[in-house]
Amino acid sequence: MIIAIDGPAGSGKSTVARLIASRLNFKYIETGSMYRAVAWKAQQEKIHPDDAEGIAEVARNISLEFQPGPERQKVFVDGEELTPILKTETIGQLAAVVAANRAVREIMVAQQQNMGRNGNVVMDGRDIGTVVFPDADKKFFLIADQKERAQRRHEEMKVKHPEITFEEIYEQLKQRDYEDENREVSPLVPAKDSIRLDTTHMNIDDVVAYMIETIGPVHSQ
């Protein structure tokens, strides 16, 4: 079984996907971290985000590995764990530019399809149900009010970055939404056969419970 979970930044898809994968004993793949990793690597190599071929070359050569962690998935880039670094807003903004690169998108999609080839996987991102796995067994598209999503992101970020303001996060999120929805390659749109779920007034446990019930019986390999 392949479960696809898409949605904009701050909709809760990564947290929900990780919990569902844990409950079902499925593999979890957070595809957003793959684009963030390419963005980080390009930054380290001082490659400008607008250098399409330079960024694509980074994507071709980067080595990515996911490992389960106690609270969140650990992401290794070329053998080095970079989980906290990849979650910063700066890398997130760069990742939005990187994700609009057609060559990078093709490289990452191929990797994601390879990762999920054996099934029993939960994969979250922006285009899982539309591009990566259009034939996924279950597709969900999570949404939430923009200010609510910004508030969630602010609560998460201010633990390690107390100086960051809600207004900064809100403006960054609005920009990210615009870029995700308006890029030419794989824009953020719900698959026609996806189950749309507004999480604005729902807690994580309720969202997970609803989705588990909707998924129904599964058979782990």
Tell me the domains of the chain and their CATH numbers: 2-212 (3.40.50.300)
Per-residue tens of pLDDT for the chain, all 221 residues: 999 999 998 899 999 999 999 999 999 999 999 999 999 999 999 999 889 999 999 999 999 998 877 777 789 999 999 988 998 888 988 998 999 899 999 999 999 999 998 889 999 999 999 999 999 999 999 999 999 999 998 998 888 889 999 999 999 999 989 988 998 888 899 999 999 999 999 999 999 999 999 999 876 54
**pLDDT value of residue 40:** 96
Can you tell me the distance from the alpha carbon of 22 to that of 159, in angstroms, rounded to the nearest whole number?
25
**How many whole angstroms separate alpha carbon 92 and alpha carbon 4?**
21
Strands 138-143 and 121-125: unpaired
What are the two backbone dihedrals, phi and then psi, of residue 204, each rounded to the nearest 5 degrees? Answer: -60, -45
Judged on CB neighbours under 10 Å (0-12, 13-18, 19+), 131 is buried
CA dist 165 and 16 (Å) reads 25
Torsion of CA 164, 165, 168, 173, to 10 degrees: 90
Alpha-carbon distance 193 to 195, whole Å?
7
- Spatial separation of the C-alpha atoms in residues 102 and 51, rounded to whole Å: 12
The alpha carbon of 50 is separated from its chain's Cα centroid by a whole number of angstroms, namely 22
Q: How many CA atoms lie within 13 A of 39 on its CB side?
A: 23
CB 132 within 8 A of CB 31: yes
Asked if 20 and 122 touch (Cβ cutoff 8 Å), the reply is yes
Can you give the pLDDT at residue 68?
A: 78
Which helix (H) or strand (E) covers residue 103, if one does? helix 102-115
**H or E element at residue 5:** strand 2-6
Q: Extract the tokens encoding 155.
A: 């609560």
Rounded to whole angstroms, the Cα distance separating 41 from 55 reads 9
> What pLDDT is stored for residue 193 in this prediction?
97
Contact 195, 180 (CB under 8 A): no
